[in-house]
A and B are shown apart, each in its own frame.
Chain A
Amino acid sequence: MHALRVRTVLPAFLVLILAACGTAAEETTTTGAGGSVTTQPSTATGGTVRIGWGGAPADLNPGLGVLTEDYTLYDLIYDSPLNINLEGNFEPELATSWSASDGGLTWTLTIRDDVTFHDGTPLTAEDVAYSLNLYKDTEDFPFLPSYLTPFVSIEAPDATTVTLTTESPIGNFEYRMPAMYVLPKHIWEGVNPVEFTNDEMIGSGPFKLAEHAQDEFVRLGPNPDYWGGAPNVEQVVFQTFTNPDARVQALTNGDVDMITEFPATAVASLRSTANVVVADGSYFGGRLADIFFNVVEPANCPTTEEGGVCSGHPALRDVNVRRALATATDKQQLIDTLLLGLGAKGLGLVTSSLSYWYPEELLAEDYEFDLAAGAQMLEDAGYLDTDGDGIRECPTDDCGPTGDLTFRLNYPTDNDEHPRVSDTLSGWWQEIGVKVEIQGLDSDALTSVCCPSFDYDVMLWSWTSDPDPESLLGVMLCTEIASGYSETGFCDPEYDELYDQQLVELDPAARRKIIVDMQRIALEQVPYIIPWYYPRIQAYRSDRFSGWQDSFPILSLEDPSSLAVIRPTG
């Protein structure tokens, strides 16, 4: 499968974070242990929950969605076969069970028989198969088709069974399901799916669309017949606040009950505001910041027709130099100063939000910050400062006229942290004898020097991960160098072989072992330094509604897992 290239463009313009479609009933029981809920269970219902966010959905048609806000809305209004919970694990939603047979070539989903769409029509396996086939076959849908590429046929033999067949086994069936919003066949089969604006949004989820004003607000009402139990609130309003300070002020004043995002600089003042709770956790799938190097070997350089330039500094192809730079990078310091201590220390491309797949055992092998050790590594590898200008020179004579270890460093200008990260890195690296020339670029320009042209030395950027490691691990494949998906030009045949193995490994434990081995290679070869995993910070008022699910690793208060269970206080 071709992995998703999901670059963060703007904070409010994140693409494809798969959010979970909550099941109301199960999660109420787990909240007590988290201690975030009032000890006396309230039974009150009703009320309007007001939520302030920075963006707004652009498309009500689930096939066409690209914004985070689009997916938030789909998750509230539609059901999917499976769901990801706030611990990062997959759980049943419309499908009560799923299993592989026939050597992993056939997957069978058992669909609930007590589900109806918002218009009263029963939801059957037929609707599920129809929706999956629609997503698979509609090439103009930007993201969803790629989740279904391995399947050669999707059928509904009876009202509660869906079978999916593949040509080779797939080790990550579950992650392909949570964004497969089940659409009513009787409505969709009569329209052109690419031109359908879907203004009614008939789904089967816990909430119904009541009113939508583009770029202003979305108003939802409860689905009283929801199979998982009707939500307790009367109305949910998402209002767009373009100005982050206004959003914070609105929460402080009580104009809204929850804000989905706000600047880290407001954390301290919100924490001291009465009746306001600041919660932190991680994103579904996780978001990471990355520092990466142009390591493409001349032999692997894409052809001129493919756009290859390959002007990278030769010293960066020496793993000793990359290890020295990683040793001269203080991740914790970056988190403390730039994220006010709220991020989690990064390790590799598989984020801690992927719980099971996160390679904790590799933590001990990460490079510890030590400027002297970093300098010594360069010294030992033969990079000496022979002309006394404070910058080391290459031992070989292919490093340009001066032979200096001078690297270009580029970052996207639409990000707040990167200019400061660059300056901080430059300071540390200067101390071990490496000079950096910093230049911020517009994200289009950055893409054009990045890949597949490889016309850069060092780059800072960020990724939003899928809830499965496969897609992001694909960026280090030899086979992706010419496609532009690989941004470093890294190539290790052993890594590629392991990647192919994990694709078809059905046993999760065995697949995990392979994935850990792949990340060990990445850690040893250092094409990437991952300084941190972004934190997610949200805040809510505790005096109006109770039951916000804020004690799990993943934080998403706008998810059905919170909105379907919160109740008015008192």
Chain B
Amino acid sequence: MSRGRLVLRKVAWALVTVIVVITFNFLLFRVLPGDPAKAGVRDPRLTPESVEAARVRFGLDKPVFLNLEGGGLFDSQYFAYLGALAQGDLGESYAYNNRTVTELIGRSLVNTVWLVLPAQILSIMIGVVLGLLAAWRKGTKLDVGALTFSLFMWSLPTFFLGILLLFVGSRTFGLPTAGRVTIGADAGFAEAVGDIFSHLLLPTATLALVLLGEYMIIMRSSVVEVFSEDYILTAKAKGLSTFQIIRRHAFRNAMLPIVTLIALNLGFTVSGAIQVETVYSWPGLGKLTVDAVAQRDFPVLQGAFLLLAIAVIFANLVAELIYLRLDPRVTEA
């Protein structure tokens, strides 16, 4: 199969997956127990008339999938949802009156990316370098030290590490305990940048430390495996320096599993770092999702799930496309 057709086929599959996810995501909130109309109005003293009015307002009076009772086969909740979705309309939040889901998710997404992206970049860089060093110096104190550190960080619960860093950082270094900026502070540009940086430091460090372990361990084992290959031996026999071997032969081959991991993690980035966001009161997507669960804000949940699913599917697609470039053998599969 040619490369172009392969790319097309992968994109097509991703699109099919998205449609299946949209449908499943829609159904999920229809089979949950509880009446969405009551959840939407959140007033237990509702009269049957007002429940009915709410049902009409949220379109819940229509059949779920296909309208067999007249008024057009497609006059149903599902097709109304698809129609709105096509126009980028995710509905209105139940918990926040007069706020659209798109608006809520959009704002939280910006905050989440603000926090998670630096943390991801930091952890990928440190994790990959650390893994490479450990594999290169396999069996030495450096290897054991780096491995122990990574395993420890990986297994430490995020909220626990977060609280520890919060106590130490705020007590010892006077770093802020919550939020993105100092509210109501009238500061100049340089001070404002410093303020943002100081607010970002602890949450980013927490998230980076937690993510780092995984990258380091995968990178290390992958490089160790590549180092045992015959072509590395050949390269050594040719008289190449260690640096050249790593750069030209080992690194690229060892990157395959790491690319998978990065792509997957970046997909989940969108779901936000729920625990870090909660500890540091960061108004991101993770916190929005948790609040939506607590308040039974189904439209927001539905929107957040959809965004997460699409992000993961997209990240997977990107990973597969990168594979094609990194490893010509993938074409055969």
Residues of A within 8 A of B (CB): 2, 4-5, 7, 10, 13, 48, 50, 52, 58-59, 61, 64, 66, 139, 142-143, 146, 194-197, 210-211, 213-217, 219, 235, 237, 239-243, 245-247, 249-250, 253, 255, 414, 444-445, 447, 484-485
Contacts and interface: CB of A to CB of B under 8 A. Distances in A.
Contacts of B50: 139
A235 B186 CA distance: 12
9 contacts: A50-B183, A139-B50, A211-B183, A215-B291, A240-B281, A243-B281, A249-B177, A250-B170, A253-B171
Contact of B45 (A146, A213, A239, A253): A146
Given A142-B41, A215-B287, A444-B34, A255 B97 contact: no
A246 B166 contact: yes
Contacts of B280: 243, 246
Interface string B121-135: 000000000000000
A13 B96 CA distance: 13
Given A239-B183, A241-B177, A243-B279, A5 B44 contact: yes
B236 interface: no
B235 interface: no
A58 B177 contact: no
A162 B44 CA distance: 32
Interface residues of B, number: 40
Contacts of B99: 197, 214
Nearest to A65: B97
B174 A241 contact: no
B170 A249 contact: yes
A196 B98 CA distance: 8
Interface string B96-115: 11110000100100000000
Contact of A444 (B33, B184, B283): B33
A454 B95 CA distance: 29
Interface in B255-285: 277-281, 283
A246 B44 CA distance: 34
Contact of B183 (A59, A196, A217): A217
Contacts of A196: 98
B176 A219 contact: no
Given A59-B96, A217-B179, A13 B294 contact: yes
Interface in B160-212: 163, 166-167, 170-171, 174, 176-180, 183-184
A544 to B, nearest CB: 15
A377 B316 CA distance: 69
Report which residue of B34, B45, B179 has the largest number of chain A beta carbons within 10 angstroms of its beta carbon: B45
Contacts of A61: 97-98
A204 B34 CA distance: 41
B137 interface: no
A50 B185 CA distance: 11
B295 interface: yes
Contact of B184 (A66, A235, A484): A235
A249 B166 contact: yes
Contacts of B42: 66, 142
